[in-house]
Amino acid sequence: MADHRLDARFVMRWIDILDRLVVEAEPQLTEFDAAIGDADHGANMTRATCACKAVLGDVPPLTTAAAFSEVGEALAQYIGGASGPLYGAIFLALGDSVPATTDIGAGDLVAGMREALISLHNLGAAVVGDKTMVDAIAPAVAELEQLVSVGAPFPEAVAAAAEAAARGARSTIPLRARKGRAAYLGPRSEGHQDPGATSSALLFEALRLAVGP
């Protein structure tokens, strides 16, 4: 695998694309959340990704790690509800785990995503099958790690991870929620796609587009 170098401008590009995807998906996220939540996940996500763009501004931070940390703090502050700390934890873990250098390698990002998943487990105690964002993120991280470990081109690995995240989000439809507000619905949570898993799949789709071919 030829190593990709990922700098703060890469993070800005990732967030810019995520913002566009979230704006496009806001009606769907609202619809999904209306069925099993508070119907505010779409609005919360669009507010947060817009805030991230404003925080990063036009001049990138000095390091990739700093850019990740700024995004994490903005997501935690502006998403609100239960999702805010969880989304914030993803990027804060990336900021804490990748090297504090001008740019990082693809392997650093992969290792950081593993640390982000661990942070989600520690914070929310959710596992695959609980009908949460972990259902999208865990298989995506596993796919990314596996392909990178065998030397696959990084864009190919990221594309496969995005597909795994999308499948993971769809897999939540028949599940009964065991975490979060939806868990209080019991069997009525079945038959609906989890909004957090859906927006998490957008996170990996944005990463795929940011990395490029």
Q: What would the pLDDT profile of 32-44 be if each residue is shown by its tens digit?
A: 999 999 899 999 9
pLDDT score of 2 more than 70: no
Q: In this predicted structure, what is the pLDDT of residue 80?
A: 74
Q: What are the pLDDT digits (tens) for 48-100?
A: 999 999 999 887 888 999 999 999 999 998 887 778 889 999 999 999 999 99
The domains of the chain are located at 5-211
Tell me if 64 sits within 8 A of 91, measured CB to CB: no
pLDDT score for 1:
43
**Residue 188: helix, strand or coil by DSSP?**
helix
What architecture does CATH give domain 5-211? Alpha Horseshoe (1.25)
The whole-number pLDDT of residue 3 equals 64
d(CA 8, CA 5): 10
What span, in angstroms and rounded, lies between the C-alpha atoms of 98 and 64?
8
Q: Whole-model pTM?
A: 0.95
Question: What is the predicted pLDDT for the residue at 180?
Answer: 84
Q: How many CA atoms lie within 13 A of 122 on its CB side?
A: 9
Helix (H) or strand (E) run with residue 103 in it: strand 103-105
